[in-house]
Structure 1
Amino acid sequence: MEVVILAGGLPSSISEQPDGIPKPMAEIGGRPLLWHIMKSFSQYGLTDFIICAGYRSYVIKQYFLNYYVYKSDITVDLAKNKVTVHNKVTEPWAVTILDTGVNSSTAERVKQAAPYLEGDDFIVCYGDCLSDININSLIDSHSKDGHIMTAAVAKPTGRNTIMNIVQPGDIKGSCIPSSDIHNAWVNACTMVVNKRIFAQLEDMRGTFETDVLNRLAQIHEVSAFYHDGFWCPVETVRDRNHMQQLWESGHAPWKIWND
């Protein structure tokens, strides 16, 4: 099953780099957010990634093209124009990077990933969200429900659109932020999707997380997977600093792998 990562948004405002980089390339613990997300998925055996890039897509391409260099010790023989890579450290990942345009909507970015999908189901997630969602349980829930989409929902962090959910899990759409935080659920930006989605995307130019979800809700083709654990969209400097502190403490909730 492929994992489609939406990574094409505007330049990051949470990185120390003054020239601007894609937000998913902002670093936590010396590694891009993208790396953390992919590392988590790979613990569930999901190693085929399609990154829908946009703003400064070459930054993402360069990172993966030079992954050996970034992760390993190297010797550069300038006289012979030769590079030797020592103690090679890599990941069992197949990474496809698509330049989906700077101004494309998230729905349009997902559409561009269609030719690279092999199975009937795939995962869509956002390149600026960290979580400890149990992906196996999410996939199982999707298989049982049989809907086009199963969206993980989590407790709001305070800046999120509330989901209109009818128990036990049918999503009826999204609505404006609510003051009833204790009973509210928000889209955790990790979804298992069936290829039938592309029939709904033919004339769609809006956001995948709201416009597409609302359309699927109208035809009763989206269900909720409740996640009570950790989830955080890394949207501000404060968010990033908090994630950095968690990482340095050795208790980052999204770190489900062993070093």
Structure 2
Amino acid sequence: MEAVILAAGFGSRLGHHTREIPKALLKIGKKPLIYYTINTLMKNGIEDVIIVTGHKGYVLKDYLSGFDMNFKFVHNSLYKRTNNIYSLYLAMDHVSSGFYILNSDVLFHPEIFTYIHQNEDDSLVLSVDNVKKLGEEEMKVQISDGVVKRISKQIPPNKADGEYIGIAKVHRNTVDDLKEHVTKVMDKKGRKVFYEEAFQSMMDSGHEVYCEFTRGLPWIEIDTPSDLMAARYEIFPNIKAPEGQ
């Protein structure tokens, strides 16, 4: 298995915090956010990582040069005019087998990844928090008998069964199907939509998409200064910080 880390975004809502660095390099504890993701991948035996860069990509590339990993950097030069579906599209030209999708702005307990890593469903599997109280902004899902039926921010909170947290496992049997639907969605809706639209397109075509729950373990997506503070002072203390890099 390989990993694809999407790290092209500008992080405009974080203001001065991301003026000179990408969100992936925001300090959490004593380390940049991406350190914890890379460390988790290493501990699960994943050494081949494709990173899609955009805003201040050279800074991220320089930081990651200190890790003993097989990195391939793919630059999204249109990051200011596209959304993460285009970054995923660029990355998929470089995957050779099954892979993980990880949003670079997510801080998560390492065991959340272990759960999805050990999942044996031979399809697309989404990491879902079915404990958190949901609002309007979250990427929500509806689930029936362990199968994800719908994914969208437009699902009313009281009709949702959880939130997709930005970590997915793409089984090798599903790679070609996902690429087909990423292309199909961009042809129909353009390059400014979320890649989850491709997941929905797969579901609409009859492809079964499964979920692996986070089981109440802490995680957070960092989009705003308040998210950053919560990551540093509420979530991080509940995540054991690995030693090393």
Please state which band the TM-score falls in when normalised by the shorter chain: 0.7 to 0.9
Structure number having the greater helix percentage: 2
Write out per-residue CA displacement over residues 7-63 of structure 1, whole angstroms, 9 at most, x where no aligned residue.
Answer: 111235447557343222211123221112111222211122111111222221232
2:25 is aligned to 25
| Corresponding position: 1:225 with 2:212 | yes
2:230 is aligned to 242
Distance in 2 (CA, whole Å) between partners of 1:109 and 1:247 is 27
| Corresponding position: 1:118 with 2:77 | no
1:202 is aligned to 183
Number of matched pairs = 225
Q: 1:232 to 1:166 in 2, by over 3 A?
A: same
Distance in 2 (CA, whole Å) between partners of 1:235 and 1:18 is 11
**TM-fit CA distance, 1:134:** 3.6
Structure 1, unmatched stretches of 5+, are: 68-90
Distance in 2 (CA, whole Å) between partners of 1:111 and 1:179 is 29
2:76 is aligned to 100
1:253 is aligned to 239
Percent identity of equivalent pairs: 19
Matches within 5 A, 1:1-259: 1-11=1-11, 13-14=13-14, 17=17, 19-65=19-65, 67=66, 91-101=67-77, 102=79, 103-119=81-97, 121-132=98-109, 133-141=111-119, 143=120, 145-147=121-123, 149-154=124-129, 155-156=131-132, 158=135, 159-167=137-145, 169-175=146-152, 176=154, 178-180=156-158, 184-193=161-170, 194-196=174-176, 197-205=178-186, 206-209=193-196, 211-218=197-204, 219-228=206-215, 229-246=217-234, 251-253=237-239, 255=241, 257-259=242-244
TM-score by length of 2: 0.80
Q: 1:57 to 1:223 in 2, by over 3 A?
A: same
Paired residue secondary structure (1:60): helix
**TM-fit CA distance, 1:258:** 4.3
Write out per-residue CA displacement over residues 133-184 of structure 1, whole angstroms, 9 at most, x where no aligned residue.
Answer: 443431332x3x322x1101013464413211112x1111124354439x73
Q: Tell whether the 8 Å contact from 1:34 to 1:127 is kept in structure 2 after alignment.
A: yes
